Structure 1
Amino acid sequence: MTTSAGSNATDHERQRESLTGGLEVWPQLDPFAATVRWQLLQLGQLVQASVDRVAAANGLTHAEVAILGALKRIGPPFEASPSRLQNAHWVTLPGLTKPIARLEALGLVTRRINPADRRAAIVALTPEGNRKMTDIIENQAPPEYWAIADLPPERRAAIEAVLPDLLGMILAAVPEE
C-alpha cells in the first residue's frame, strides 16, 4: 500500500502532537528540544534503512558501502590508510577490519603495506570497486537523496545554515567514549 506525501505529512503532524502532548508529564523538558531530537532520530533511522537497502541490493553491508564511498570521496588514486578511513567514516579501527577484508575478497579493494610506515596498510579501490561505487552513486540514489536534491534554493539555504551548527553543538555536547 502506498501513501501520498500529504498523508505522510498528516501522520507526522499527529506523531509530533502526540510527542509534545506527552511531554506534559515532564514539564522540565523543553518540547522544542525533545521534538527536534525525535525528528532527528526518525531521519537517521530512515536514512540508515535506505542505505541498508541500497547496500543489500548490491550484496554489501552499510559499512562496506561507507568504506567504498569514503575511498571514492578521497579522490584519485582512491586510497587511504585505515586511520584516515576511520576519521572519514566514524568507525573504530577494529570495526574496519572485517568489512575491508570482505571488500578485498570481493575484489572491490586491495590492501598493501604503507611504504611510509611498514606497520600500516593502504586500502585502495580497485577499478571494479570504483565502478560499483559510481553505479551506486549515479544510478541507485535513494528517495531521500532526491527529496533533498529537489529542495528549492531557499529551503536548501536554511538547512545548510542550521544543520552544520546543530551537528557541531551536538558533537560538543556528547561525551567522547
Structure 2
Amino acid sequence: MPPSDTSRTAPRPDRLDLVGDAWRRERPDLDVRPQQVIGRLHRVANHLTDELVNVYEQHGLTEGEFDVLATLRRIGPPYERSPGDLVAHTLVTSGGMSKRLDRLERAGLVTRRVSDADARARVVALTERGRDVIDAAFTDHMVNERRLLDALDPADVDALERILRTWLRALEEPPATA
C-alpha cells in the first residue's frame, strides 16, 4: 500500500496522543478523552490565532483593533457605535477599548464625538481611511481563512461548523445583533 493511503488510515501520533498515552499509563482509572478533544481544540486555536494575527499586522493592526474596525464596518453606514456597543460586539474588554480607540483615533481610522441623541454619550465612527484599511484587511483575512480551511476536506469543514455551532450554543447565549 502507498504511504499516502497508510497516512489516511493510521495518522501519525500528535502531541495529544503522547500526552494521552502517558496519562492512561499513569491514571488508567480516568477517561482522558476530553483532554484529547479540548487539548487539540486549544492547540488548533493557538495556531489559528497566530495565522490570523500575521494578516492583521500586515495592515498595521492588532487583533483587538481589527475587531473594533470590523465591528464598525459591518454595521453599515454611518459606521458608528457607542464605546459600550463596541465592547458588547467585540472580543475587546471595556478596559482595553479606550486604549484601542485612542490608538485608532491617533492613526486616523476612527473619530470620537458627542452623540447627537445624548450629550452625555460618545459615538465612535469609522473614518474614510479606517474604512479603506478594514476593507483591505478584511479581504486579506478572508483569503487567509480560506487558506486555513482548505487544509480540511469540505465535508469535514461542514461537520466542524455544525459541531462548533452546537457546542457554542451550549456555552453562550447568542447576541441579538452582529
- In the alignment, what sits opposite 2:22? 22
Report the identity percentage.
Answer: 31
> Could you say what the CA RMSD is over the residues aligned between the two structures, in angstroms?
2.6
- After superposition, residues 77-156 of structure 1 pair within 5 angstroms as 77-141=78-142, 143-148=144-149, 153-156=154-157
In the alignment, what sits opposite 2:64?
63
Instruction: Classify 1:29/1:63 alpha carbon distance in 2 versus 1 (closer, same or farther; 3 Å).
Output: farther
Post-superposition offset of 1:14: 2.6
> What stretches of structure 2 of length at least 5 have no aligned partner?
1-6, 174-178
Structure 1: gaps of 5 or more residues: 1-5, 173-177
Instruction: Give every structure 1 segment of 4 or more consecutive aligned residues whose post-TM-superposition deviation is greater than 6 Å.
Output: none
1:157 Cα shift? 2.5
**Judging changes above 3 Å, is the alpha-carbon distance between structure 1 residues 30 and 83 closer, same or farther for their aligned structure 2 residues?**
farther
Query: How big is each residue's C-alpha offset from its partner over 1:45-64, in whole Å with a ceiling of 9 and x where there is no partner?
Result: 11221232222222222211
Q: What is aligned with 2:4?
A: none
**TM-score normalised by length of structure 2:** 0.78
Q: CA deviation at 1:28?
A: 5.5
- The number of equivalent residue pairs is 164
Alpha-carbon distance in 1 for matches of 2:119, 2:31: 53
Structure 1: which amino acid aligns with 2:168? L
Q: Does 1:36 align with 2:37?
A: yes
Q: Deviations along 1:54-90, whole A, 9 cap, x unmatched?
A: 2222222221111111112222222111111111113
Greater helix fraction, Structure 1 or Structure 2: 1
Partners of 2:52 and 2:141 within 8 A in 1 = no
Contact 1:51 1:142 (8 Å CA) reproduced: no
Whether the aligned pair in 1 keeps the contact of 2:69 and 2:134 (CA below 8 Å) is: yes
C-alpha distance in 1, partners of 2:29/2:143? Answer: 39
Change in 2 beyond 3 A, CA 1:19/1:115 = same
* Cα distance in 2 between the residues matched to 1:77 and 1:113: 15
Change (3 A) 1:30 1:167: farther
Higher relative contact order (CA 8 A, sep 6+): 2
CA drift at 1:150: 7.3
* Aligned residue in 1 for 2:169: 168
Indicate the structure (1 or 2) with the bigger Cα radius of gyration: 2
Q: CA deviation at 1:93?
A: 1.6
Distance 2:28 2:73 in 1: 48
